Amino acid sequence: MAIVPDTKDWTWVLERPCTECGFDTRVVTRESLPEGIRDNAAAWQELLLGSAGADLRRRPSDSRWSRLEYACHVRDVFRLFDRRLRLMLESDEPTFPNWDQDATAVADSYREQDPVDVAGALLDAAEILAGDFAIVPAAAWHRTGVRSDGARFSVESLGRYLIHDPVHHLHDVACDAGGVGSTSAI
């Protein structure tokens, strides 16, 4: 069985704790976002570089991504949300270009990528995103942007929404002995 795309709208994670990973985005503040992004990236470094002997390319089941694939996805999420953040700061209520995460995973051969390269790129992407959130002007947190499905975000809710995704995927890989996981649509 191939990876089944998750087409659910996950914006409910802005309103209540995630039923799968337990993370509550409502506790995330503007000030804590950069640190949250950096802490998450550090956890992925540990997973990719510190798991001696672990098979990073092994899928726990045919329908679940491997650790390496999740890490590639998180790296790309950090890059994607930095583009979305900049777009919101530079133009009035932009519509974000659509991003098909599952098509990207196949087109970019996530399964074939080098874990050391991915770890470095994930760290770089996280640092850029954390730095950009750290310098959002006070008056800009309420600027808006619209996802291609019509979901509207402010800079603040974009940040809270974003940080759930890589946290959720750390939970996914922690469960990869056969627990419940997903490729949450973003």
Residues making contact with Zn ion (CB under 5 A): 18, 20-21, 168
CB of 36 vs Zn ion, minimal distance in Å: 14
CA proximity to 48, closest of 70, 63, 32:
70
Q: Which residues of 105-122 are buried (b: 16+ CB within 10 A; e: fewer)?
A: beeeebeebebeebbebb
Partner residues linked to 153 by β-bridges = 145
> Hey, what are 169's tokens?
């995927």
Residue 18 or 185: the one with the smaller Cβ distance to Zn ion is: 18
CB of 184 vs Zn ion, minimal distance in Å: 7
CB of 63 vs Zn ion, minimal distance in Å: 18
If phi over 0 gives left and psi between -120 and 50 gives alpha, with beta otherwise, what is residue 54? beta
Residue 106 or 174: the one with the smaller Cβ distance to Zn ion is: 174
Tell me which residue has its CB nearest to Zn ion.
18
Residue 18 or 175: the one with the smaller Cβ distance to Zn ion is: 18
Residue 21 or 105: the one with the smaller Cβ distance to Zn ion is: 21
